Amino acid sequence: MALYDTKLGYDDITIVPEVISEITSRKHCFCYDSNFKLPIFTAPMNAVVNEHNYQLFLDQKINTIIPRGVPISRRLKLCTKTFVALSLQEFETFFYRHAPCILENIETVAYICIDIANGHMRWLLDLCQRAKEKYGGQLLIMTGNIANPDTYVEYAKAGIDFCRVNIGTGSCCTTSSNATGFHYGAASLIKQVADKKWEIEQSLIAAETLSINCAYKSVPFIVADGGLDSNDKIVKALALGADYVMLGKLFAQCEEACGDIVTKYTEQDQVITYQAGEMYDEPYFNTEIRKKVLPVQCRVYYGMSTHRAQKETGRNSLTTEEGITTYVPIKYTLANWVKQFEDNLRSSMSYANAKSLIDFKNTKYCIISNAEYLAIKK
């Protein structure tokens, strides 16, 4: 069945200020969640975070996910402190073998991110539902990714706590562009999933008021994942209704991120992302522009569906990949990035007359032309 309405990406829209804002200073805007953390998760990628540096991110009020490149034994030791990524097979083993021991104390909570590409599988939903029925609030489950608003409804029925939304928009992901062709405009998807979330919240309120049963077991938090390579896109995702965003490349450019660092050379002064092969391994003199190329310290950045990541997670049997390897310049410290982001987010909230992130979700937006996008893009 064809969907004839146009789906929008983040670059297709801008958010619109409130008619009158009563906020006199951006300092009055509270840009944290209920746990006093920023509405951000680190992407579970081997070039971003591991068991050695995750505390540095937590100290900066950023939620972390330990990726599958870390050995399973070490991930399980951390699962009561922060989210850890598991494959679907690993989660099934965790549910039957490890959870009874880890969650023996009823006050213990385990944080699990089932890290798979296709979050629409019945196997995933059934397993999550069984796990939540047995452990309830002792087991917080994040999973995805989804690219259909109606799938979010099924997640609510299964009792899933966090839903990763978007497919194919990550800077290292080729799922949509070169592999499967599946995609859904990121901005439209976040907005429509947020609308589904509101409908579920109203159904639960009505069921409680009338003392009747409801099919929904949870109201999953919306985690916008992929394509958020600048602060303005992060702000747009939150304004459209996302509870959290998940960031990979922006954190890979922090000094504190993990992963290999190499020196590359480029003719360009501005800092951008370079795909493998677009930079030079050795300095040279360009006779056309009479300018020596500049050295750039870069981190090797790659998607979790590349051959490299598959080998690091023990999946040597796979012959295909849905990701690429790039070099991202190291640009800033984590603390400096967080300070800049907090200022940007608070400023946006003040324009929207939003003192909290919940208020910010009601922000209006408009569609812009390509010419207008080019005019504001610097």
The pLDDT of residue 285 is 47
**Strand ranges (DSSP E) for the chain?**
13-16, 40-42, 65-66, 83-86, 110-114, 139-146, 162-165, 221-225, 244-247, 261-266, 274-275, 285-286, 291-292, 294-302, 325-329, 364-367
84 and 39 fall within a common domain: yes
Measured from the Cβ of residue 102, the count of other Cβ atoms closer than 10 Å reads 18
Q: Is 373 inside a domain boundary?
A: no
pLDDT tens per residue, range 314-354: 766 666 767 778 889 999 999 999 999 999 999 999 999 99
Residues 153 and 213 in one domain: yes
Residue 374 located in a structural domain: no
Q: Is 369 a domain residue?
A: no
Distance CA 363, CA 340 (A): 21
Q: Does residue 1 form part of some domain?
A: no
Contact 255, 333 (CB under 8 A): yes
User: Same structural domain for residues 188 and 304?
Assistant: no
Q: What is the pLDDT along the chain (378 residues), one digit of tens a residue?
A: 455 588 999 999 999 999 999 999 999 999 999 999 999 999 999 999 999 999 999 999 999 999 999 999 999 999 999 999 999 999 999 999 999 999 999 999 999 999 998 999 999 999 999 999 999 999 999 998 999 999 999 999 999 999 999 987 766 676 656 667 787 889 999 999 999 999 999 999 999 999 999 999 999 999 999 899 999 999 999 999 999 999 999 999 999 999 899 988 776 543 344 444 455 555 554 545 445 567 889 999 887 777 677 777 776 666 676 777 888 999 999 999 999 999 999 999 999 999 999 999 989 999 999 888 888 876
pTM above 0.95, yes or no: no
| Whether 276 and 341 share a structural domain | no
pLDDT reported for residue 276: 41
Smallest CA-to-CA distance from 262 within 325, 219, 306, 189 is with 325
167 plus 299 within the same structural domain: no
In a domain, 377, yes or no: no
**Whether residue 175 sits in one domain with residue 277:** no
The most distant pair of C-alpha atoms in the chain lies apart, rounded to whole Å, by 79
CATH number at residue 25: 3.20.20.70
Tell me, yes or no, whether 209 lies in a domain: yes
Domain count, the chain: 2
Considering the domain architecture, whether residues 203 and 216 belong to the same structural domain is answered as yes
pLDDT tens readout for residues 349-358: 999 999 999 9
* Residue range of the domain that includes 186: 10-254+334-356
Contacts of 74 (CB under 8 A, 6+ apart): 51
Residues 74 and 53 in one domain: yes
- pLDDT attached to residue 314: 72
User: Does residue 37 share a domain with residue 131?
Assistant: yes
Do 324 and 346 share a structural domain?
no
- Whether residues 53 and 162 share a domain: the answer is yes
Residue 244 lies in a domain: yes
Residue with tokens 């598991």: 86
Query: What is the 8-class DSSP label of residue 96?
Result: I
Q: Is residue 250 part of a domain?
A: yes
Phi and psi, residue 324, nearest 5°: -130, 165
**Structure token digits, residue 299:** 């981190």
Residues 74 and 103 in one domain: yes
